[in-house]
Structure 1
Amino acid sequence: MKTLFNFRNLLLAALLITGYTSLAQTTSTTKKEETMKTYLIERDIPSAGNFTAADLKAISQKSCSVLKDMGSDNIQWVQSYVTDDKIFCVYKAKNEDLIREHGAKGGFPVTKITEISSVISPATAQQ
């Protein structure tokens, strides 16, 4: 009886060690995924506030085409704000270089890139 008990414990220990080793190998070889950060991009574009709906549509289509080629796992456009002489864009990207690459491929100026560290709104006051 004692031999059967020891054998069962030994078998259980072997199974646990095998499972743990398998898990450790899987985790250690898995590539760490880079998370996307949120950025505010400032683009100096003279007379941007005078763009027509057709102009803005064409710019949007060009941007979306470039983004599709770059892959949504790397960079995503959230939205943009058009002012008199600038366009401010909010993007999610793995790094700033991808935003510069998007600008270069699309022909969009990139004047300044700022990583957004926090977002607040009127709802923040209620929390």
Structure 2
Amino acid sequence: MPKYVIERDVENAGALSADDLRNISRKSCDVLEQLGPKIQWVESFVTPSKIYCVYIAPDEAMIRKHAEMGEFPITSISEVGCVIDPTTSEGP
């Protein structure tokens, strides 16, 4: 199943409290439960003004449906072509 990176512009995201982040996470999980097992939240990265989320989903439409239901902003959605890490440099 495809993996996506979602960029979300969230003013002062880096200043969100632990309670704020917990509430956002809870809301996302509630929506995911409603949408069923085909969409999965892998992880998110909070920066000073953005949140980058990694999801596995059958298509971009499912990502957009999650955002709509949870009232989460979407700045961009990019499908991941491949994943590399330091071990990639080691070759065969």
1:52 counterpart residue number: 17
The answer to whether the aligner puts 1:37 opposite 2:2 as a matched pair is yes
Which has a greater percent of helix? 1
Paired residues for 1:37-116 under 5 Å: 37-72=2-37, 74-116=38-80
1:123 to partner: Cα distance:
1.2
Q: Match of 1:77, as an amino acid?
A: W
Query: Residue 94 of structure 1 aligns to a residue in which SS?
Result: coil
Aligned alpha-carbon RMSD (Å): 0.7
Q: Match of 1:64, as an amino acid?
A: C
Q: Match of 2:40, as an amino acid?
A: Q
Structure 1 consecutive aligned stretches of length 4 or more whose deviation exceeds 2 Å = none
Query: Residue 62 of structure 1 aligns to a residue in which SS?
Result: helix
Q: Match of 2:41, as an amino acid?
A: W
TM value normalised by structure 2: 0.96
Q: Match of 2:90, as an amino acid?
A: Q
**Aligned residues, how many?**
91
TM value normalised by structure 1: 0.70
Q: Looking at both structures, which has the greater relative contact order when contacts are Cα pairs under 8 Å and sequence separation is at least 6?
A: 2
Gaps of 5+ in 2: none
1:5 counterpart residue number: none
